[in-house]
Structure 1
Amino acid sequence: MSGSTIIPWVVGNWKMNPLQANAEQLIHDLKQCFSQVEISAQSCHVGVAPVSIALLNVQDQLRGSMINTVAQDVSRIAGLGAYTGEVSAELLSDSGIQFVLVGHSERREIFSDTAEVVKEKVKNALSAGLTVIYCVGESLEQREKGHAEQVVLQQICDIAAIVQAEKWQKIIIAYEPIWAIGTGKTASPEDAQTMHAKIREGLSQITAEGKNIAILYGGSVKPENAVELAACPDIDGALVGGASLNAESFYQIAQAFAKTK
């Protein structure tokens, strides 16, 4: 069961959205929503992950609010150098970005981020002092074959060897069943809780910090299902896709976790 000391996280992954004018409106709306009935940082952490070209602008516009800015990805190459198109963990850190998604299924499936590539990204991010939101999840085929838990736990084990004992406090896990991302389908709260409990068990076998690591659920999270998901003991927040592009919907999801946990 999730430890009572875990503060939930609700992170909006904007993916390759929106256009600049819409992003500015979204940020304005977010600030307005979160200022009306403020959610304390002690009840829920909140973040948004914009496209890389908007990171610093979004960070600047959100300065002074409770909303953190999260990078959607990081280079497998560390430091500086002749690597056209790459953004290293050191560059993110130097720009004041403290959080990064690594291992999202779209990066794994569309852009061929193998387990080795993901490990390099995690290692670089941790070395630069970033907090990693590490994404895991199974495909529909893997679930139907009964391999879901094996696949997800292997993804956890993939990074175990490169996360030093004291660095686990810089890891957040985001479980996203691939078949539920952007499809409108959502794992039932019972199924999600079962997987989160298995992840918690697996983490606890790897590190003493296992009971303290936040495990987020992602996959068509909406205001309509957020309260039920938040009530599950091992679901410590949400990685939100489409619903994060609507300020009111995103705020309601954050409120659900802030009030329930």
Structure 2
Amino acid sequence: MSGSTITPWVVGNWKMNPMQADAQQLIQDFKSLLQAHPIDESSCYIGVAPITLALTTTQTALSSANRMVYTVAQDLSRIAATGAYTGEVSAELLKDSQINFVLIGHSERREIFGESAQVLNEKMKNALNAGLTVIYCVGESLEQRESGQAEQVVLQQICDIATVVDSEQWQNIVIAYEPIWAIGTGKTASPEDAQAMHAQIREGLSQITTYGQSMAILYGGSVKPENAVELAACPDINGALVGGASLNAESFHKIAHAFANTK
């Protein structure tokens, strides 16, 4: 059974970009494109993930768009609530600022910052308990793919969070499959390879939760307008987590349009 009836998500991960003036211009350009070429909310959810400094200003700027565009935090603390934790931003503080979505487990957090399964579980538990919706990222390295471990690695990353997710909380999770070797490299998994992994992820989720067939599974890894339509046509690819292309309003709009009109 495919997830082809699931409303797709297209989320732009701005990472540690751009400068404030450029961010404001990017938002304005994207709002103008949505005005000129509307994308119905029922056909595609859209979100952007700016740096923490820009979460509330981005949210305010997007509030005047002609449709809902969600503001997504790129990360959150492993520590809950408030307290003497210099530099941290907790799930509760995000919720208090009406930031209701957060990325957890991005490969850059795992690879560059050494976030272990234990750390990610703490973040996942805090986010879900605070009422946030989590976009949980999974993916394999090139070495793991070439050694035939890709599916094992990805499914293990999903199993890792199962111990801290209550049965009803699975409906508040979106999965983003991002092969590490395709992030920021210009390389993209073929639609066939991406669909095969997404189908495996959905099968794995279905063995863990009754929500497995209704959960959105996004593809991330050098998504751009040139490959968006092919990716969107795959039955188990329910959207995209977009990196570099989301820093260009026209490219991001084209990707969202592709998913909205293909699904």
Same fold (TM over 0.5): yes
Partner of 1:156: 158
Given that 1:2 and 1:212 are in contact with CA atoms closer than 8 Å, whether structure 2 keeps it comes out as no
Instruction: Give how far 1:86 is off.
Output: 0.3
Partner of 2:99: 97
C-alpha distance after superposition, 1:190-218 (max 9, x if no partner): 00000000000000000000000000000
Where 1:87 maps in the other structure, the secondary structure is: coil
Question: Does 2:71 match 1:47?
Answer: no
Q: Using the alignment, how far apart are the partners of 1:131 and 1:216 within structure 2? A: 14
Q: Structure 2: which amino acid aligns with 1:40?
A: D
Partner of 1:227: 229
Q: Using the alignment, how far apart are the partners of 1:90 and 1:63 within structure 2? A: 22
Q: Please, which of 213, 216, 230 is the counterpart of residue 214 of structure 1?
A: 216
C-alpha distance after superposition, 1:76-99 (max 9, x if no partner): 000000000000000000000010
Q: Structure 1: which amino acid aligns with 2:26?
A: L
Partner of 1:108: 110
Q: Please, which of 202, 205, 215 is the counterpart of residue 203 of structure 1?
A: 205
* Root-mean-square deviation over aligned CA pairs: 0.7
Q: Structure 1: which amino acid aligns with 2:13?
A: N
Q: Structure 2: which amino acid aligns with 1:94?
A: D
Where 1:239 maps in the other structure, the secondary structure is: strand
Q: Structure 1: which amino acid aligns with 2:35?
A: S
Given that 1:2 and 1:236 are in contact with CA atoms closer than 8 Å, whether structure 2 keeps it comes out as no
Given that 2:72 and 2:103 are in contact with CA atoms closer than 8 Å, whether structure 1 keeps it comes out as yes
Q: Using the alignment, how far apart are the partners of 1:38 and 1:163 within structure 2? A: 36
Q: Using the alignment, how far apart are the partners of 1:101 and 1:216 within structure 2? A: 12
C-alpha distance after superposition, 1:18-66 (max 9, x if no partner): 0011111101101001111211111000000000000000000001432
Q: Using the alignment, how far apart are the partners of 2:112 and 2:2 within structure 1? A: 32
Instruction: Give how far 1:4 is off.
Output: 4.5
- Give structure 2 stretches of 5+ with no counterpart: none
Where 1:210 maps in the other structure, the secondary structure is: coil
Q: Structure 1: which amino acid aligns with 2:225?
A: P
Partner of 1:125: 127
Where 1:129 maps in the other structure, the secondary structure is: coil
Q: Structure 1: which amino acid aligns with 2:36?
A: Q
TM-score, normalised relative to structure 2: 0.98
Partner of 1:166: 168
Partner of 1:21: 21
Q: Using the alignment, how far apart are the partners of 1:177 and 1:5 within structure 2? A: 24
- Runs of 4+ off more than 3 Å: none
Q: Using the alignment, how far apart are the partners of 1:244 and 1:168 within structure 2? A: 27
Where 1:211 maps in the other structure, the secondary structure is: coil
Given that 2:4 and 2:236 are in contact with CA atoms closer than 8 Å, whether structure 1 keeps it comes out as no
Q: Using the alignment, how far apart are the partners of 1:260 and 1:57 within structure 2? A: 32
How many residues get paired?
Answer: 261
Question: Does 2:85 match 1:79?
Answer: no
Q: Structure 1: which amino acid aligns with 2:183?
A: I
TM-score, normalised relative to structure 1: 0.99
Q: Using the alignment, how far apart are the partners of 1:194 and 1:254 within structure 2? A: 22
Q: Structure 2: which amino acid aligns with 1:198?
A: Q
Partner of 2:56: 56
Given that 2:4 and 2:238 are in contact with CA atoms closer than 8 Å, whether structure 1 keeps it comes out as no
Given that 2:14 and 2:51 are in contact with CA atoms closer than 8 Å, whether structure 1 keeps it comes out as yes
Q: Structure 2: which amino acid aligns with 1:207?
A: T
Partner of 1:11: 11
